[in-house]
């Protein structure tokens, strides 16, 4: 494993405690943090459902309704909600899950959790899930022939570039999210190596900035998901 060695300590980069399950190497810290993030999301959803009101909504309900309304407007603008209504709950869930996963590392716990989105395995899995769903939707909406034609049609000289674009989509989705969160976690680890009397201000400032970046990255992932679905269902790219 790569490591960064400083005068005050060493930071291991990309090192995870692992276990072998059915012949597969599993990053245990990523798996645990992912399950915790998913559990928090489910718990928030169940809590909000128990407190949902047609009258005066609570703060959590207001925040969720504002998020859903914002994503509905984006989907309506990009492709029309009726064309692919499932994109709204998908994009909303992705935003909420990624945001919680991005923020989970900065929450103080007895056993320190990592941001699972700082592990390329999770971000790649999310990217493959989204792009696989996008292509399945394209086949269902346009038929196999019609969807393939959208990539092989005129001008023919663009076909290689279209192929490169399709390969780049999951890579850009996965690497953008992974890179930003990995860098954020690395910066927090570097700051932790400072002398204790210098820790408070840099740590607070960076954690606030890291939270902001977490929101932006969750939003970008959701926006790109909507854009890719609009490409798949609309008549022209």
pLDDT over threshold 60, residue 77? yes
Q: What pLDDT, in 10s, does the model give residues 150-171?
A: 777 667 777 787 788 777 787 7
Q: What pLDDT, in 10s, does the model give residues 59-68?
A: 888 888 899 9
What is the torsional sign of CA 19, 21, 182, 212?
Answer: negative
The mean pLDDT of 79-90, rounded to a whole number, is 88
Tokens of 166: 């399709």
pLDDT over threshold 80, residue 186? no
Report the C-alpha gap between 65 and 87 in whole angstroms. Answer: 16
pLDDT over threshold 60, residue 222? yes
Q: 161, 177, 167, 160: which is closest to 224 by C-alpha?
A: 177
Integer-rounded Cα Rg, in Å, for the chain is 21
């Amino acid at each position: 494993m790569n490591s960064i060695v400083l005068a005050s300590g060493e930071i291991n980069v990309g090192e995870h405690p692992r276990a072998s399950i059915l012949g597969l190497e599993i990053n245990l810290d990523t798996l645990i943090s992912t399950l915790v993030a998913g559990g928090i999301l489910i718990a928030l959803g169940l809590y909000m459902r128990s407190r949902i009101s047609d009258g005066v909504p609570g703060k959590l309900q207001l925040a969720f309704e504002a998020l859903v309304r914002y994503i509905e407007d984006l989907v309506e603008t990009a492709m029309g909600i009726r064309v692919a209504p499932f994109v709204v709950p998908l994009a909303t869930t992705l935003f909420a899950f990624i945001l919680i996963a991005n923020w989970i590392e900065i929450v103080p716990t007895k056993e320190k959790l990592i941001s699972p989105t700082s592990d390329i395995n999770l971000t790649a899995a999310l990217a493959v899930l989204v792009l696989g769903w996008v292509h399945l939707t394209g086949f269902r909406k346009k038929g196999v022939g019609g969807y393939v034609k959208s990539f092989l049609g005129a001008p023919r000289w663009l076909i290689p570039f279209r192929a490169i674009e399709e390969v780049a989509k999951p890579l850009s989705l996965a690497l953008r999210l992974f890179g930003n969160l990995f860098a954020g976690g690395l910066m927090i680890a570097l700051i932790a190596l400072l002398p204790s009397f210098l820790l408070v201000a840099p740590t607070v400032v960076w954690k606030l900035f890291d939270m902001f970046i977490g929101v932006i990255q969750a939003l970008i992932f959701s926006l790109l998901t909507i854009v890719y679905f609009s490409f798949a269902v609309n008549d022209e790219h």
